[in-house]
Amino acid sequence: MSGQDRIAAVCVALAARLGVPVADLHPLPDTGLAHDHVRIGDTGTLARVPKQSQLGLAAAENLDYQAACFARASASGHVPHLHEKLSPDDGLPMGALIVDLIDGKPLALPGDLAAMAECLAAIHALPLPESNQRAPLKDPVDPMADTFMEIMTQAAYIAAADLHPDAESQIREELQAAGATLARKARPPRTLIAFDAHPGNYLMTSDGPAEGGAILVDLEKARYGAAAFDLAHATLYTSTTWDVDSHAVLDRAQVADFHQVWLDTVPGDLAAATEPWLLPLRRMMWLWSVTWCAKWQVESRQSAETVAAGNTSTENWSAELSEDALVAHVAGRVDDYLDPETITRVRADWHDATQSPGPAASIQSARAG
């Protein structure tokens, strides 16, 4: 089925479920690998229709998880409001969520860095629920170890990803460094985090949920973990150059300024406990991103049916699920991120920071022991 045929079928199914004419449904451009987005007439709402589950969850479980992501973060005032959950059925095999349509513009970096930091700070500063109130969101005993296990699972694709030998060597060096970080007894504080905080997932508004500022519109992978993962994902090269509309290459001073806004905005105890982890978890988040790239490199080549046949869940990175232009864009980004010269430049963030007190040190040197 072509991309146009698939989205047309989505609109027919949505119209039947919502009781509105198909003509009132307006698909947005295909800009994400995991969802279709459909504007619902002039209601001020949007249908988020999963193509797959990035967490590898079954359809109903995935929808419940995403609904909980929006519900948990709503108290921050920096996410869309959840209106309705459409359970999976034959027409919508993965179901859909109806959320606020945010009238905003993509981030313009570096100018909107402070707004992005304030948005994340509002989410991270939310009170931590009691442990028995955190489900269905992920709440691992050791969030850092859990992330490392995700990295290692993705790293299994490296051998089949046809990487340049230097790129593979550098990634494997970072895997060893991540293992050494994990061996430390200390751990960062636990908060609600997005775990998908790259700049393409925000819109800048003049009003709305936050009465102006940055709104985080994609929350499907939220969990309880380390805020430093979000701060890294918001500012790493592999994130700031992912989305065409918010594309930017940040320098170290700009990243340091972003960190400072966040540190000045969250409660003092959270800032003090997180600051030593900014650099080590930046390294680990980058490693998560590049190993995901290796995974996508392998799985995107396969048909949707082939990937699905090998899964016990609904995670599916086949290129067949997205428009050709989007797939070509992602392929270009992945090629760049896995290029050995790009990897060397990105790694300089932390290698230079730990070897000299120069500008790189402003990203924050590791002090967690």
Instruction: State residue 34's pLDDT score.
Output: 76
94 and 117 assigned to the same domain: no
Burial class of 304 by CB neighbour count within 10 A (0 to 12, 13 to 18, 19+)? middle
Instruction: State residue 357's pLDDT score.
Output: 39
Model pLDDT for residues 134-185, shown as the tens digit of each residue: 999 999 999 999 999 999 999 999 999 999 999 999 999 999 999 999 999 9
Q: List CB contacts of 260: < 8 A, sequence separation 6 or more.
A: none
Does residue 80 lie within any of the structural domains? Answer: yes
146 and 61 assigned to the same domain: no
Instruction: State residue 328's pLDDT score.
Output: 84
58 and 189 assigned to the same domain: no
Residue 349, classed as helix, strand or coil, is helix
Instruction: State residue 356's pLDDT score.
Output: 43
Residues of the chain with pLDDT under 50: 317, 356-362, 364-369
As a whole number of angstroms, the distance between CA 256 and CA 258 comes to 5
Does residue 106 lie within any of the structural domains? Answer: no
As a whole number of angstroms, the distance between CA 297 and CA 257 comes to 34
Q: What pTM was estimated for this model as a whole?
A: 0.90
Model pLDDT for residues 285-327, shown as the tens digit of each residue: 999 999 999 999 998 887 555 555 666 556 554 555 556 777 8
Strands 191-193 and 82-86: unpaired
**What CATH number has the domain bearing residue 291?**
3.90.1200.10
67 and 127 assigned to the same domain: no
Domain that holds residue 250: 113-363
**What CATH number has the domain bearing residue 81?**
3.30.200.20
Domain count of the fold of the chain: 2
Instruction: State residue 359's pLDDT score.
Output: 36
141 and 28 assigned to the same domain: no
Instruction: State residue 364's pLDDT score.
Output: 47
67 and 39 assigned to the same domain: yes
